[in-house]
Amino acid sequence: MSSAMEMEYPHPYVPTDLRLPGYVPNFLTQTEILVPYIASSFVVASLVWFFSVSSSPPEITIIGPRRPILLGRISKISKTDRILMCWWVFTGLTHIILEGYFVFSPEFYKKKVPCYLAEVWKEYSKGDSRYAGRDTAIVTVEGVTSVLEGPASLVAMYAIAAGKPYSHTLQLTICIGQLYGCIIYFVASFLDGDNFAKNPFYYWVYYVFANSIWVVIPTMIVIRSWRKISKAFLGENTKRKAH
Amino acid sequence: MSSAMEMEYPHPYVPTDLRLPGYVPNFLTQTEILVPYIASSFVVASLVWFFSVSSSPPEITIIGPRRPILLGRISKISKTDRILMCWWVFTGLTHIILEGYFVFSPEFYKKKVPCYLAEVWKEYSKGDSRYAGRDTAIVTVEGVTSVLEGPASLVAMYAIAAGKPYSHTLQLTICIGQLYGCIIYFVASFLDGDNFAKNPFYYWVYYVFANSIWVVIPTMIVIRSWRKISKAFLGENTKRKAH
């Protein structure tokens, strides 16, 4: 007995027997959801790229009583490090805003007025209905990702810019967390039957491709930071031997 | 209609409506399960402690044509590193043998003949029935722990003994994995109602205390290795400035 006011919409997700009382269909199209995300990510990353530039290391001087005193040089940030800063701000904000919204909004699929973040997850659930279905493993992994790895990613961006000695340790730590999260994400789905996508398009584009970004890039950063740390220890060891 | 041959035993786990057809009660008592685990762990750790000793760095020499030629010194392993080697062999073998058995034995609770490893998990399930119930999050986390972190722990022990430059990186990486696993373990239980222990004794001793070891020790190792890596970079940076 559903009146016009309490109309029940069938959800588009798989498995079809998933119970989602109060589900309201997407207000926005796939393009209207994807374009703002990609565009705003591009703008933010571009800003970081632009402001991290320092083509020649500038000198910091103060006016001394007789002549300017050189305090030091701002060390130049390498191109790779600048690319990594763009990545860290992108992944950090994605974790905090997008995934943070999911973690703390269990009823996102019931939103009766258009809400961009709810639209994102209603759309993404077509590739992985465990999001709408609030699967425990998903909520837990997303919780760790948004609450711990999100803010840590922004600190990693700062650590690179400031040339902190913990920069590689922090990057490695976050990447191990991201990779662990991805393993849980894919293995838990496999163990539960791997049948959460509406059709092969959503399976391959949302579930496989979108997530593989967080497998490939963290793996590359782990390899790079791992090597840099080993090099630092070898440098230290060499120095010790010289004494 | 259960005959004597196909007798169904009620399981001792909580929640009581957990379905475990074919469950066979423990053959061994709690003491008979715990003592061999603690004793064999103690023996293995003692062996590592004993064989890692080198109170004064021995010299390696070869007999030259006129006089012995000093090839080098085996660097002394610090007491902390020796303790860590004991920890890594203990945690590595626990991951590989105990947790590895669980991951690849979904029907451990049906074992009709005494099997020590099955007994361990039948007993532990009194503190966390998600093991007997084969909860997806548990199986996934235990899979990562046994297949990746277990062997990596043994490599960490070797890396410390051999003074490898990646020793701290590897230790940090495994510990971040262990801590991530513990977060998933506890948060997933909380989200699913935190009602998987037979009574408060099993809750506090098996679920809380036993697991807290893998929170406290990895946290300490993360802090130590983090500091050592930062120090290595500061050493490198100082050296660079000197040029």
Inform me whether the pLDDT recorded for A34 exceeds 80: yes
* Cβ burial A62-90 (10 Å sphere, 16+ → b, else e): eeeeeeeeeeeeeeebeeeebebbbbbbb
* B17 domain-assigned: no
pLDDT at B2: 45
Task: List C-alpha distances in Å: A71 to A64, A65, A75, B31.
Answer: 11, 15, 13, 68
User: A144, B184: Cβ pair inside 8 Å?
Assistant: yes
Q: Lowest-pLDDT range, A119-128, A168-177, A191-200, A231-240? A: A231-240
User: B140, A173: Cβ pair inside 8 Å?
Assistant: no
pLDDT grade for B1, boundaries at 50, 70 and 90: very low
A187 at interface of B, judged by CB pairs closer than 8 A: yes
**Burial environment of residue A55 by CB neighbours within 10 A (0 to 12, 13 to 18, 19 or more):** exposed
Structure tokens at A72: 């030091």
pLDDT at A243: 43
Q: Lowest-pLDDT range, A23-37, B98-112, B119-133, B229-243? A: B229-243
Instruction: Dump pLDDT digits (tens) for A106-146.
Output: 999 999 999 999 999 999 999 999 999 999 999 999 999 99
Q: Is the ipTM of this complex over 0.85?
A: yes
pLDDT at A53: 82
Q: How far is A240 from chain B (nearest CA, A)?
A: 10
pLDDT at B75: 61
* A19 domain-assigned: no
* B20 domain-assigned: no
pLDDT at A236: 72
Phi-psi region of A51 (alpha: psi -120 to 50; beta: other; left: phi over 0): alpha
pLDDT at A238: 59
* B21 domain-assigned: no
* A24 domain-assigned: no
Inform me whether the pLDDT recorded for A242 exceeds 50: no
pTM of the predicted model as reported, rounded to 2 decimal places: 0.89
What torsion, rounded to 10 degrees, do the Cα atoms B152, B156, B158, B160 define?
170
Average confidence (pLDDT) over B130-150:
98
Average confidence (pLDDT) over B139-146:
98
Q: How far is A121 from chain B (nearest CA, A)?
A: 20
Inform me whether the pLDDT recorded for A201 exceeds 90: yes
Higher pLDDT, A67 or B199: B199
B241 at interface of A, judged by CB pairs closer than 8 A: no
d(CA B217, CA B233): 24
Q: Which of B139, B165, B192 sits opposite A233 (nearest CB)?
A: B165
* B10 domain-assigned: no
pLDDT at B63: 67
User: B140, A239: Cβ pair inside 8 Å?
Assistant: no
Sole residue written with tokens 């069938």: A10
The contacts found for A104-108 with CB under 8 angstroms, 24 or more apart, are: A106/A134, A107/A22
Which chain B residues are within 8 Å of A173, Cβ to Cβ? 172, 176, 222
Cβ pair B198, A134 in contact under 8 A: no
Inform me whether the pLDDT recorded for A240 exceeds 70: no
Share of chain B above pLDDT 70, in %: 86
* B23 domain-assigned: no
Average confidence (pLDDT) over A1-29:
85
Which chain A residues are within 8 Å of B141, Cβ to Cβ? 184
Higher pLDDT, B181 or A236: B181
Inform me whether the pLDDT recorded for B243 exceeds 70: no
A141 at interface of B, judged by CB pairs closer than 8 A: yes
User: B141, A235: Cβ pair inside 8 Å?
Assistant: no
Inform me whether the pLDDT recorded for B73 exceeds 80: no
Inform me whether the pLDDT recorded for B72 exceeds 80: no
Which chain B residues are within 8 Å of A141, Cβ to Cβ? 184
User: B234, A168: Cβ pair inside 8 Å?
Assistant: no
Query: Which residue range(s) make up the domain with B72?
Result: 30-57+65-242
- Going by DSSP bridges, is the β-strand pair A59-63/B68-73 parallel, antiparallel, or unpaired? unpaired
Nearest CA in chain B to A231: B165
Mutate to test the interface with B, among A103, A135, A169 (most CBs of B within 10 A): A169
* B8 domain-assigned: no
pLDDT at B230: 97
Q: B-contacting residues of A 189-228, CB under 8 Å?
A: 191-192, 226
pLDDT grade for A159, boundaries at 50, 70 and 90: very high
Inform me whether the pLDDT recorded for A164 exceeds 90: yes
B36 at interface of A, judged by CB pairs closer than 8 A: no
d(CA B138, CA B188): 9
Inform me whether the pLDDT recorded for B242 exceeds 50: no
Q: Which of A137, A165, A173 sits opposite B140 (nearest CB)?
A: A137
Average confidence (pLDDT) over B116-128:
98
User: B137, A139: Cβ pair inside 8 Å?
Assistant: no
Q: Which of B141, B144, B232 sits opposite A236 (nearest CB)?
A: B232
pLDDT at B103: 98
* Mean of the per-residue pLDDT values of chain A: 91
pLDDT at A60: 60
Count the domains in chain B.
1
Which chain A residues are within 8 Å of B137, Cβ to Cβ? 136-137, 140, 184, 188
DSSP H or E run through A122: helix A116-124
Inform me whether the pLDDT recorded for A6 exceeds 70: no
What torsion, rounded to 10 degrees, do the Cα atoms A151, B148, A207, A216 define?
70
What torsion, rounded to 10 degrees, do the Cα atoms A76, A82, A88, A89 define?
100
A188 at interface of B, judged by CB pairs closer than 8 A: yes
Inform me whether the pLDDT recorded for B65 exceeds 90: no
B182 at interface of A, judged by CB pairs closer than 8 A: no
Closest C-alpha among A163, A161, A183 to residue A88: A161
Average confidence (pLDDT) over B109-130:
97
Q: How far is A36 from chain B (nearest CA, A)?
A: 32
Sole residue written with tokens 């034995």: B105
Which chain B residues are within 8 Å of A184, Cβ to Cβ? 137, 140-141, 144, 184
User: B236, A232: Cβ pair inside 8 Å?
Assistant: yes
